[in-house]
Each structure stands twice: as C-alpha cells, then as structure tokens.
Amino acid sequence: MTATAPATTPARQPWRTLTGCARLLWAPAHLPPVAVDATLVAALFILTAFTVRIDLHDRPWLLVFQAALLLPLLFRRRAPLAVFAAVAAAAFAQWLVDVQLPADIALLVALYTVAAHTGHLQLLLAGAVSEAGILMASVRWSSEGRFLGAAVSLTAMATAAAVIGTNMRTRRAYIASVEDRAVRLERERDQRAQLAVAEERARIARDMHDIVSHNLSVMIALADAAVFAQYRTPDKTATAMRQVSDTGRQALTDMRRFLGILRADEPDALRHPIPDIAQLHSLLDQVRAAGLPARLRMTGDPSHVPTAAQLTVYRLVQEALTNTLKHTPPGTRAEVRVHCSPESISIDVTDDGHGRTSQDPDPQHGHGIPGMRERTAAYGGTLRAGPLPGGGWQVSAHLDLSTAETGVV
C-alpha cells in the first residue's frame, strides 16, 4: 500500500511536539520515574495522533506504528539501549512501508536517554544508527533539492538530543560526587568530633589522676605524720595540718581551673597559677613535707619552653614523685633532674628505694604510667619507667619541642 506523505517536510515535523517532550523530560524530581515516563508516552501519543488524525481515520492500522514507536519509552530508564533498538526497528519498518509519522520524535527521546544513562560507546552506536536513519528518511521523504537541508536539520536535532543527554549525565555524576563528598565530609567531621571527645576525656582523666593522686598522697602522708607527732611535738602537728589544708585548697583550685569554672577575680587564681617548671621547687617542698627527701637539679634556660610543655614537665615530675611517695618505704630519697635546650627537654626522676618491680601490674593497668606516656608522646618523645639494677626506680622522659602539638597539656 502506498501512502501519501504529509505536506510538511521531515525537518519540521518533530518540532511540533518537541516543547512538550522537553518539559516532561525535565519533570519535577519528586515524581516517580515510572509516572514521568508514563506521562511522557501518553502526551506524545495524544499529540502525535492528533497531528495525523485524518490519516488515522482512513488508515487505523497506523496506530500500530504509533504504539511501536512510543510504548518502548516506558522502559527507557531500565534498558536505554534496548529501547533505542526497539524504536529504531519500528522506525525502519515504518520506512519500509513508506509511512511518515510525527511519532518519530521517539527516536530523539530514545537517543537522549542513551546519552543520559549509558556510556560513550553505546552513544556512538546509537548516534551512528540515528544518522543512518536520518539519511534514509531524507532520501525518501525530502522534497526535490531539499535533501541536504533536511539531513542537516535532522542531524542537528539528533546532535542536540545527544548533547543534552550527555550534559544531564555529567550533571547527574557531578551531583552524585558532591553528595558523596558531603557525606564523607560529614562522616569525617563526626569522626573528628568523636576523636576530640575521646582526647578531651583522656585529658580530663590524666589531669584528674595527677591532681587527685598527688595531693591525696601528700595529704595522707601529712595526716599520718600529724597522728604520730600529736603527743611528742604538737607544734609539728599543727604545721602538718596546715599543710594538709593548703594542699587540699590547691587541689580544689587545680580541679576547678582545668574544668574551666575558676573566675578571674577569685583570689585562688593569683595564689595558684598554672603549674610550670618554676613551680617544681614548690612541688618538691610538698613531697619533702610529706616525708620524702628530694632534691632538684635544673640545667639550661626554661624561659623559651612553651607554657603547655612546662605544664607537661610539671605533671611528669609530679606523677613520678607521687608514685615514689606511695610505693617506696620510709627513708627513700628521690632526685629530679631537668635539662632544657632550645629543641628538647629531658626529665629524669630516680629514687633509691625498693620501689615497684617489673611485675607490678600498676604500670599496665593504672592511669599513672600510661598517662605519662601519653603526655610524652604528644611531644614526639619517649618515656622509660622501670627498676634500676642496683635497686630503686627511674622515670626518664624526653620531649621534642620542635614537633610539639600546640595546646597539648
């Protein structure tokens, strides 16, 4: 059967429904894809059927080509290349029977979908098939002398569909990468927050241990001394109890300071500044009053040492002397050596008592030695703690000021 071609040229027919098609392709993102595709197919079917309504009245079998061209678009997202092949096959059958329909715009939609949802090789294959179809349609249906214009116009339309689809795929990939990056950044932010919380908890645990353990050990030793001296030397008993009171107040002030609740106008803020290397002398006075003879040897200039590093040195010496006070018998003597240089600080605390042995579980399960190691590691240093060959105990630490983490205390 021979059909009479419509008066319009193939280059102008698709533009009648292209605007409505484009609006449906960019349908609101909140609609389900199936609903968008169904609406697109229904709109194209109605618009293209309305365009050829006279031909459909005379030749109702043209509805078969309408359906063959448009219905595969319902599955265009699931199988873009297969849908394009089905639409191209229907268009080729249409060409064979010499029937020209506006529903051929389905080829542009299918080509757009291939560009938007597949790779470059699939797009090249679909583009080659489209170009072959364009040449065949232009040869058969273009007016005399209008072959080149029709071919160029249809090729431009196919190229536009492919370019738009490629841009959509690129945009979708970019948005996916941005969303993935946002998720990763949020996850990293949460991890950093968790690490910061864990680090803050560790810092609080170290400071609480150092403050409470040291001051309570000193207070217990002073209280024991006061009990023994209350009948023989009452004046020493009063001195010891005053020292107990001062030590308790200092412990309370230190705890309130590191918890951030000490007011600037509070008198204790001036009486008890943040501990530093200069206060090691006062620290040794405390342990001497508690019954542990100790001496301090300092070399080098500590004025260049950062405040945080000075606090670390103070806490290391404090913890080492506290352990000596708690774990050595009466009569033990201790010595503290601190050497400051522009690049590093060396701390060495030794005692001549029996002390602990390497089998003592405290270094492994207590907070003292692990806390000292953490403070030393914050400055890229090392800490050694253990018994001496001839008896006694030694704690040695080395802080590297050139690699110190600012703000670590």
Q: Are strands 382-387 and 334-340 parallel, antiparallel or unpaired?
A: unpaired
Asked if the model's pLDDT at residue 81 lies above 90, the reply is yes
Q: Is residue 340 within a helix (H) or strand (E), and if so which, with residue range?
A: strand 334-340
> Of 31-35, 165-169, 175-179, 231-235, which range is least confident?
231-235
pLDDT value for 101: 85
Distance (Å, rounded) from C-alpha 378 to C-alpha 311? 13
| DSSP 8-state assignment for residue 104 | G
pLDDT value for 233: 72
Asked if the model's pLDDT at residue 356 lies above 70, the reply is no
What is the mean pLDDT of the segment spanning 38-62?
Answer: 78
Residue 288 confidence class, pLDDT cut points 50, 70, 90: confident
Structure token pair of residue 334? 């201790």
Asked if the model's pLDDT at residue 100 lies above 60, the reply is yes
Asked if the model's pLDDT at residue 279 lies above 60, the reply is yes
Q: Is residue 324 within a helix (H) or strand (E), and if so which, with residue range?
A: helix 307-327
Task: State if pTM tops 0.75.
Answer: no
Residue 259 confidence class, pLDDT cut points 50, 70, 90: low
Asked if the model's pLDDT at residue 25 lies above 80, the reply is no
Residue 87 confidence class, pLDDT cut points 50, 70, 90: very high
Give the type of residue at 247: T
Asked if the model's pLDDT at residue 159 lies above 70, the reply is yes
Residue 21 confidence class, pLDDT cut points 50, 70, 90: low
Which residues neighbour 352 within 8 Å (Cβ) at sequence distance 6 or greater?
332, 333, 391, 392
Averaged pLDDT of the chain? 79
Asked if the model's pLDDT at residue 15 lies above 80, the reply is no
Backbone dihedral region of 172: left (phi > 0), alpha (psi from -120 to 50 degrees) or beta? alpha
Count helices and strands (H / E) in the chain.
Answer: 14, 5
Asked if the model's pLDDT at residue 407 lies above 60, the reply is no
Share of the chain above pLDDT 70, in %: 77
What is the mean pLDDT of the segment spanning 317-343?
Answer: 88
What is the mean pLDDT of the segment spanning 108-130?
Answer: 93
- Angstrom distances, CA of residue 108 to CA of 54, 150, 155: 25, 16, 10
Contact 69, 90 (CB under 8 A): yes
Q: Which residues partner with 340 through β-bridges?
A: 345
Asked if the model's pLDDT at residue 173 lies above 50, the reply is yes
pLDDT value for 58: 73
Structure token pair of residue 235? 């004046």
Distance (Å, rounded) from C-alpha 374 to C-alpha 265? 33
Backbone dihedral region of 378: left (phi > 0), alpha (psi from -120 to 50 degrees) or beta? alpha
Q: Where are the domains of the chain?
A: 15-186, 275-409
Of 266 and 122, the structure prediction assigns the larger pLDDT to: 122
Distance (Å, rounded) from C-alpha 181 to C-alpha 250? 50
What is the mean pLDDT of the segment spanning 266-275?
Answer: 58
- 3 state SS of 394: strand
pLDDT value for 306: 86
pLDDT value for 126: 93
pLDDT value for 7: 39
Q: Which CATH superfamily is domain 275-409 in?
A: Histidine kinase-like ATPase, C-terminal domain (3.30.565.10)
Residue 264 confidence class, pLDDT cut points 50, 70, 90: low
Asked if the model's pLDDT at residue 9 lies above 70, the reply is no
Residue 13 confidence class, pLDDT cut points 50, 70, 90: very low
